[in-house]
Amino acid sequence: MNAVPGDFGFHSAPATKLAIAVIGAGPRGAGLARAFQVCPDWELAAICDVDVNRASIMGKQLGTVPCFETIDELLDCVEVDAAAIATPLGARHGTAMTALRAGKHVLADEPLADSLSHAQEMAAEARMGSLVLMAGRPHSYEPSIQKIQKLIDAGSLGDIMFVEALLSETNLLNTERDVFWDLAPRSFAVMDEVLPGGLAPLDVSAFGGDPLGTGRDCVGHIYFRLPNDAPVHLHVNRLSRSKCHQLLIAGTRLTVVWDAGVQKERLRVYDPSSPALQKLSTPPVPELNLLQLPGEDGTGPSVEQQTMERMADAFSRNIRRQNDGHSPNSPTSRILAVLEAVSRSRSLDGQVSGVVSPLGDTHGGLADDWPQSVLWPT
Ligand SMILES: NC(=O)c1ccc[n+]([C@@H]2O[C@H](COP(=O)([O-])OP(=O)(O)OC[C@H]3O[C@@H](n4cnc5c(N)ncnc54)[C@H](O)[C@@H]3O)[C@@H](O)[C@H]2O)c1
């Protein structure tokens, strides 16, 4: 499906539910599993984790969901239509390829894989099997994010002057990838939803540090420019004492601040001409009044759970509609291309590094070059 503003209800469940397996029983897998259990179009058929104790704890919490140690074992024993992959980044390509080769649709977190070439391999496999390979971006189903999109599309912010983003958490155990690959994709996915033209830098600079000597950057800064030359700065930090995911977009008319760390008032709007930079209590533009949802006021299920459920619903719609000719988008390729440029810049001590498309030319035809099987709400 495409995330249609205001279209937040589940579609009515067709006669036959789709069966899904969740691979990876960490917090992300648990959130996905709960979402698939709630969505009327899905039946949560199995859970898999190489740590089988973790899988069985989650299986019991969710009822009597069968648990498996490997995806091969699961696919041998249970008939499923799709797999939702919630493993760490390094295992995403392998598990997704196993599922795709077995003819299963796949939902995997952004970035889809640990390299552009691995993601392309997954997309080619999906295309060959006429399967949906969807990148998981729960935040794009958030009313507050869709409000920012609307404000920007309507020109209500004026010209964008600068963008600041922060993503921090405490995670000293995660040394599989550096902090850029670990945290930046979540912020990139949000930027790709809201920035005019999406996340499309021509080049990037990245600086980082590893103050605890873990062997990988744990703190990092990424810089690039929007097409109007406005600077964008993303700070990623997994040594922080606080968990933050924030985005500030400063326009000549309005400044918006989005904060995923709160349930209520995730989006605040400021008038930059006011000397005290006061928060606007009355919506200054009609777009702000749109897309109000129950739950955004802090009551009911968390915003995270609601967005996860909408994503599960979107996945089933994509599967059921995959042949109806609606056109896909390719943000996944953009995020991976930007991440690879970040790694190149970091290895060159912050030197500016061009973002290279899957076909090898500088950013340009990414969207057109990405295989049809990668579906994402436009
Ligand atoms: N937790 C979040 O808030 C969050 C937010 C956005 C994205 N993510 C993404 O989701 C991924 C998972 O997050 P998490 O917090 O649940 O991590 P986690 O490490 O706590 O859990 C991952 C689970 O996957 C299992 N696993 C590893 N390889 C496997 C394999 N080959 N087959 C089956 N199971 C395997 C691990 O044993 C572990 O239990 C992260 O790497 C991140 O990219 C997480």
CA 172 to chain CA centroid, Å, is 22
Residue with the nearest Cα to atom 1 of ligand 1? 28
How far apart are the CA of 186 and the centre of ligand 1, in A? 14
Report the atom number in ligand 1 closest to the C-alpha of 95.
31
Q: Is the pLDDT of residue 308 over 90?
A: yes
Q: Is the pLDDT of residue 277 over 80?
A: no
On whether the CB atoms of residues 92 and 112 are closer than 8 A, the answer is yes
Q: With pLDDT > 70 as the criterion, what percentage of the chain qualifies?
A: 79
On whether the CB atoms of residues 159 and 185 are closer than 8 A, the answer is no
How far apart are the CA of 120 and the centre of ligand 1, in A? 21
How far apart are the CA of 229 and the centre of ligand 1, in A? 36
Among residues 232, 205, 231, the alpha carbon closest in space to that of 220 is found at 205
pLDDT band at 52 (very low <50, low <70, confident <90, very high): very high
Q: Delimit the domains of the chain by residue range.
A: 142-299
pLDDT at 304: 87
Q: Is the pLDDT of residue 347 over 80?
A: yes
Q: How far apart, in whole angstroms, are the C-alpha atoms of residue 194 and residue 204?
A: 19
Counting ligand 1 atoms within 8 A of each CB, the residue from 48, 87, 180 with the most, and so the one to mutate, is 87
Q: Take residue 106 and report the two structure tokens written for it.
A: 């796949």
CATH for the stretch 142-299: 3.30.360.10
Residues 6 or more apart whose CB falls under 8 angstroms from that of 88 comprise 24, 174, 176
Residue with the nearest Cα to atom 31 of ligand 1? 91
pLDDT at 260: 92
Intra-chain end-to-end CA distance of the chain, in Å: 9
pLDDT at 212: 87
Counting ligand 1 atoms within 8 A of each CB, the residue from 50, 106, 177, 245 with the most, and so the one to mutate, is 50
Among residues 172, 154, 136, the alpha carbon closest in space to that of 318 is found at 136
pLDDT band at 333 (very low <50, low <70, confident <90, very high): confident
How far apart are the CA of 297 and the centre of ligand 1, in A? 30
How far apart are the CA of 138 and the centre of ligand 1, in A? 15
Q: How far apart, in whole angstroms, are the C-alpha atoms of residue 32 and residue 330?
A: 22
Q: Is the pLDDT of residue 217 over 70?
A: yes
Edge-to-edge strands, sheet with 353-354: 267-270, 255-259, 239-251, 160-170, 231-237, 219-225, 203-209, 353-354
Computed on alpha carbons and rounded to an integer, the radius of gyration of the chain in Å comes to 20
pTM score, whole prediction: 0.87
Q: Which residues of 116-139 are buried (b: 16+ CB within 10 A; e: fewer)?
A: bebbbbbbebbeebebbbbbbbbb
Q: Is the pLDDT of residue 33 over 70?
A: yes
Q: How far apart, in whole angstroms, are the C-alpha atoms of residue 96 and residue 83?
A: 8
CB-based pocket (< 6 A), ligand 1: 23-29, 48-51, 54, 71, 86-89, 91, 95, 109, 186
pLDDT band at 367 (very low <50, low <70, confident <90, very high): very low
Average pLDDT, the chain: 83
How far apart are the CA of 158 and the centre of ligand 1, in A? 40
For 61-87, the pLDDT digits (tens) are: 999 899 999 999 999 999 999 999 999
